[in-house]
DNA sequence: TCAGTTTACGGCCCACGTAAAAATC
DNA sequence: GATTTTTACGTGGGCCGTAAACTGA
């Protein structure tokens, strides 16, 4: 029976041309290679080399064999990669979320319920999330609404409400509440990585310009220095104090988000604890 | 590095379901399989089995791995087959001939000049011979004429002349020579495996019916018993005496054959001794 | 109790490396 | 003499099988 080791050494010989060079590079002794190449010939049942007393080279058979052996070796690579990748995916819980705060909740929950699983998370808008759930890219997604598709499992996953975050001296600073339309048309500063919120405000405030800031720290600097209004949510407010700004709630219904943890029924079976835990709560 | 042996045992386990059954069939001990399957998991870097204390089965990874392993094993089969086939072709001299007698000459010559080569011979008519020479099916062919294609090497390879072989009491028995036309229209008995001769007589004696006989012995019996004329050539006449018949030479030019040994220039290089030997003769 | 898997252990084989020979440049 | 392949040979690791423990049906 053919030994992969021998095939590997054979292919290496094909690259380096002499047994001694090959032996050196593979960290085995020369005689070992001599022996193994002879064994390989036995395994093939065919002479693969043209030998003279102190020279050895591939013959016609050897040339074909080495071409084929290369194929086999690369296919073995492919095989192991596939299996390893499957294994990884089996141990990885892949979350797609529409917003950053539910991700944190989910991470906390998942590490508690499935501590042996790895976790990957991505922030996407709702369309690619649903698509990704269907094609297996995500095991679980978090949406800012309850999907109607009855083939999916949807569990309530917390609420979040949007506020205007107004700088000192802003005309509406003292308002107890505002509507999107009240500030529609005003330029605002916005942190980029807020998931579906960006889609929401673009839709509800079509006349405003949004100055997007990619870098988290830069955004906070800007928020401190600028006199432009920004956004904030109750989730943020509950965790850290406001710096030099006033948060005014937005009354519109669309600013009151109820998140859903969504997965396929198949995933519901694979990860039953989510359903169990979220229902008893 | 993955061991071919382990893959093989793994696939076998996939067929037989239990390690003990597999061990029995592969003629190794159970513990050996336990060990080797664990080694295989190490080689993959992935758990392939779902184990309980006295039961073992493939897990999801294992199912994929076994599918892929099967592929690899069959590709190794393909690889070795290819190489072996190439090797065989390298040691085989394949002759296509238009007639049986030159084959004997060629066999004598080839075994003398290239004693280590295997030899395969086929009898075909000229068209498939030329086609087969081009596509590599034959290394060498023998034609009843000298081909015009200058890309081919053609060497004189002996002569053979056709005779009528007339039964006792046949009207033309005493003729010193005849032409095809003299007997055209007569029914004749013909041995099937005479290569291009069959084409020749059908063409030159379009009005005759030829009773073909497949079996060599049956043909000779028939020739002895029948009163129908048959054919014979000088090559046969020189080797064995006539039985109860008279051979009358056919004067037509087309009955005087000069054979050519034909090969491509490439084959001329691979088998230089044919050219050398036939030219010096 | 039986069938199956795993662990423990001892012996043997063989595959490796060292050393040296042979050959070619 | 330098380089390369091959042969010879002794040794150690590892691989196998036997025996036994463990488990669940």
Query: Is the pLDDT score of B67 beyond 90?
Result: yes
Percent of residues, chain B, with pLDDT higher than 70: 100
CATH 3.40.190.10 assigned to domain B88-157+257-280? The reply is: yes
pLDDT surpassing 80 at residue A56? yes
> Is residue A71 pLDDT above 90, yes or no?
yes
* Assigned token pair, B266: 């490439």
Q: What single string gives the DSSP state of each residue in B211-268?
A: EEE--HHHHHHHHHH--S-EEEEHHHHTTS--SSEEEEEB-SGGGEEEEEEEEEHHHH
B97, β-bridge pairs: B123, B142
- Pair of tokens at residue B114: 């290239």
Please, what is the Cα angle at B32 between B30 and B33, to 5 degrees?
Answer: 70
Q: What is the pLDDT of residue A240?
A: 83
Please write the tens of the pLDDT for every residue from A72-108. 999 999 999 999 889 988 889 999 999 999 999 999 9
Q: Residue B279's pLDDT is what? A: 86
Q: How far apart are CA B98 and CA A256, in angstroms?
A: 93
| Residues of B in Cβ contact (< 8 Å) with A82 | 64, 68
CA-wise closest residue to B213 among B235, B193, B197: B193
Tell me which protein residue sits closest to nucleotide D17, measuring alpha carbon to C1'.
B29
Query: Given a cut of 90, is residue A53 above it in pLDDT?
Result: no
Which residues sit close to strand C, CB under 7 Å? A 5, 27-32, 35-36, 39, 52-55; B 18-21, 30-31, 34-35, 37, 49, 51, 53-56
Give the closest of B47, B75, B90 to A72, CB-based: B75
Nucleotide nearest A31, CA–C1', reads D6
pLDDT band at A198 (very low <50, low <70, confident <90, very high): very high
Check if B60 contacts A (Cβ < 8 Å).
Answer: yes
Q: How far is the CA of A35 from the C1' of D17 (A)?
A: 28
Give the start-to-end residue ranges of the domains of chain B. 4-85, 88-157+257-280, 159-256
Architecture of domain B159-256: 3-Layer(aba) Sandwich (3.40)
Measured between beta carbons, the chain A residues lying within 8 angstroms of B75 are: 71-72, 75
Give the gap in angstroms from C-alpha A145 to the nearest C-alpha of chain B.
Answer: 34
Asked if A61's CB is within 8 angstroms of B2's CB, the reply is no
Which residues in chain B have Cβ-Cβ distances shorter than 8 Å to A80?
2, 43-45
End-to-end alpha carbon distance in chain B:
60
Residue B153 — pLDDT band, cuts 50, 70, 90? very high
Mark which residues 86-145 of A lie under 8 Å from B by CB. 86-87, 90
> How far apart are the CA of A274 and the nearest CA of chain B, in angstroms?
22
Region B173-193 average pLDDT = 93
Percent of chain B's residues with pLDDT above 90: 76
Which of helix, strand or coil describes residue A51? strand
Distance CA A37, CA A19 (A): 9
pLDDT reported for residue B243? 75
Looking at the predicted structure, is the pLDDT value of residue A70 above 90?
yes
Q: Whole-angstrom Cα distance, residue B134 to residue B140?
A: 10
Inter-chain touch A75–B79, beta carbons under 8 Å: no
- Segment B197-222 shows an average pLDDT of 93
Task: Identify the pLDDT of residue A88.
Answer: 87
A71 within 8 A of B79, measured Cβ to Cβ: yes
Residue A50 contacts B, CB cutoff 8 Å? no
Please give the full DSSP string across B135-202, using - where no structure is assigned.
TTS-SEEEESS----TTEEEEEEEEEEEEEEEETT-TTTT-S-B-HHHHTTS-EEEES--THHHHHHH
Question: pLDDT at residue A29 above 90?
Answer: no
* Distance separating alpha carbons of residues A139 and A132, to the nearest angstrom: 9
Identical fold for domains A88-157+257-280 and A159-256, yes or no, is: yes
The chain A residue lying nearest B49, using CA atoms, is A87
CA of residue B208 to C1' of nucleotide C3, angstroms: 80
Q: How confident is the model at residue B91 (pLDDT cuts 50, 70, 90)?
A: confident
B77 contacts chain A (CB < 8 A):
no
Residues whose CB is less than 8 angstroms from the CB of residue A272 and which lie 6 or more positions away in sequence, other chains included: none
Is residue B231 within 8 A of residue B209, CB to CB? The reply is no
Give the count of beta carbons closer than 10 Å to the beta carbon of residue A54: 5
What does the pLDDT read at residue B136? Answer: 87
In the predicted model, is pLDDT for residue B5 greater than 80?
Answer: yes
Specify the CATH number of the domain A4-85: 1.10.10.10
Instruction: Report residue B239's pLDDT band, with 50, 70 and 90 as the boundaries.
Output: confident
pTM for the whole thing?
0.74
The bases of strand D with some atom under 7 A from any protein CB are 3-8, 15-20, 22-24
Work out the burial of residue A55: count CB atoms within 10 Å of its CB; fewer than 13 is exposed, 13-18 middle, 19 or more buried: exposed
Please say whether the beta carbons of A65 and A48 come within 8 A. yes
Q: Cβ contact (<8 Å) for B5 and A2? A: no
pLDDT band of A115, cuts 50, 70, 90: confident
Tens of pLDDT along B92-147? 999 999 999 999 999 999 999 988 888 999 999 999 999 999 988 899 999 999 99
- Contact (CB<8Å) B61/A83: yes
CB A30 within 8 A of CB A63: no
CB contact under 8 A, B8 and A2: no
The pLDDT of residue A154 is 95
**Angle formed at CA A8 by CA A6 and CA A11, multiple of 5 degrees:** 110
- Check CB contact under 8 Å for A90 and B61: yes
What's residue A170's pLDDT? 92
Tell me how many degrees the CA angle B97-B247-B256 measures, rounded to the nearest 5: 40
Nearest CB partner across the interface for A76, out of B72, B79, B83: B72
Rounded CA separation B15/A180 (Å): 66
A-B interface: how many C-beta pairs under 8 angstroms? 84
Q: What is the pLDDT of residue B128?
A: 92
Nucleotide nearest residue A30, measured CA to C1': D5
Chain C footprint positions (protein CB, under 7 Å): 3-8, 15-20, 22-24
| Closest CB to B2 among A4, A44, A60 | A4
Percent of chain A residues topping a pLDDT of 90: 70
- For tokens 């699983």, the residue is A117
- What pLDDT score does A54 carry? 83
The total number of residues shown for chain A amounts to: 281
Q: Any idea which residue has 């030899």 for tokens?
A: B119
HEC string for A185-238: CCCEEEECCCCHHHHHHHHHCCCCCEEEECCHHHHHHHHHHCCCCEEEEHHHHC
The C1' atom of C16 and the CA atom of A31 lie apart, in whole Å, by 9
CA-nearest residue of chain B to A64? B83
Give the pLDDT confidence score for residue A94 in this predicted structure.
93
Query: Torsion over CA of A195, A199, A202 and A205, rounded to 10 degrees?
Result: -90
Backbone angles phi, psi at A2, to 5 degrees: -65, 140
Which amino acid residue lies closest to nucleotide D19, measuring CA to C1'? B31
Provide the sign of the torsion angle of the four alpha carbons A120, A125, A126, A127, taken in this order. Answer: negative
Taking CA atoms, B206 is separated from A118, A180, A265, B196, in Å, by 86, 104, 82, 15
Neighbours of A62 (CB within 10 A): 25
Cβ contact A231:A204 at 8 Å: no
A239, B33, B54, B96 from B39: Cα distances, Å:
51, 10, 19, 53
Mark yes or no for CB contact A47/B8 under 8 Å. Answer: no
- Predicted local distance difference test score (pLDDT) of residue A280: 80
Chain A interface disruption, residue of B76, B86, B89, B116, most A CBs within 10 A: B76
Q: Decide: helix, strand or coil at residue B7.
A: helix
Using the CA of B30, give the nucleotide whose C1' is nearest: C5
| Residue-averaged pLDDT of chain B | 92
Give B210's pLDDT tier (boundaries 50, 70, 90): very high
Locate tokens 């009528």: which residue? B164
Per-residue pLDDT band at A250 (split at 50, 70, 90): very high
Average pLDDT for residues B14-41, to the nearest whole number? Answer: 91
- Protein residue ranges contacting nucleic strand D, Cβ under 7 Å: A 18-21, 30-31, 34-35, 37, 49, 51, 53-56; B 5, 27-32, 35-36, 39, 52-54
């Amino acid at each position: 029976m053919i030994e992969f080791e021998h095939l590997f050494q054979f292919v290496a010989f094909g690259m380096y041309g002499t047994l001694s060079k090959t032996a050196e590079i593979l960290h085995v002794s020369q005689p070992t290679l001599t022996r193994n190449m002879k064994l390989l010939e036995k395994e093939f049942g065919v002479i693969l080399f043209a030998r003279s007393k102190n020279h050895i080279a591939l013959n016609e058979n050897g040339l074909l064999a080495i071409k084929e052996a290369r194929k086999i070796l690369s296919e073995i690579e492919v095989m192991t990669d596939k299996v390893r990748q499957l294994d990884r995916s089996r141990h990885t819980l892949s979350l797609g979320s529409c917003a950053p705060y539910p991700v944190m909740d989910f991470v906390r929950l998942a590490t508690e319920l499935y501590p042996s699983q790895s976790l990957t998370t991505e922030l996407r808008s709702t369309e690619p999330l649903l698509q990704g759930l269907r094609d297996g890219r995500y095991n679980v997604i978090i949406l800012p609404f309850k999907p109607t598709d009855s083939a999916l499992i949807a569990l309530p996953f917390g609420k979040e409400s949007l506020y205007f975050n107004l700088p000192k001296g802003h005309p509406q600073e003292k308002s107890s509440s505002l509507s999107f339309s009240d500030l529609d048309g005003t330029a605002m500063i916005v942190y980029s990585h807020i998931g579906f919120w960006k889609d929401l405000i673009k839709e509800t405030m079509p006349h405003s310009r949004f100055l997007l800031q990619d870098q988290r720290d830069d955004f906070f600097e800007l928020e401190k220095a600028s006199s432009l209004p920004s956004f904030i949510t109750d989730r943020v407010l509950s965790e850290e104090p406001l710096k030099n700004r006033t948060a005014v709630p937005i009354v519109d219904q669309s600013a009151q988000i109820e998140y859903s943890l969504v997965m396929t029924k198949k995933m519901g079976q694979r990860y039953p604890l989510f359903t169990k835990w979220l229902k008893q709560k």
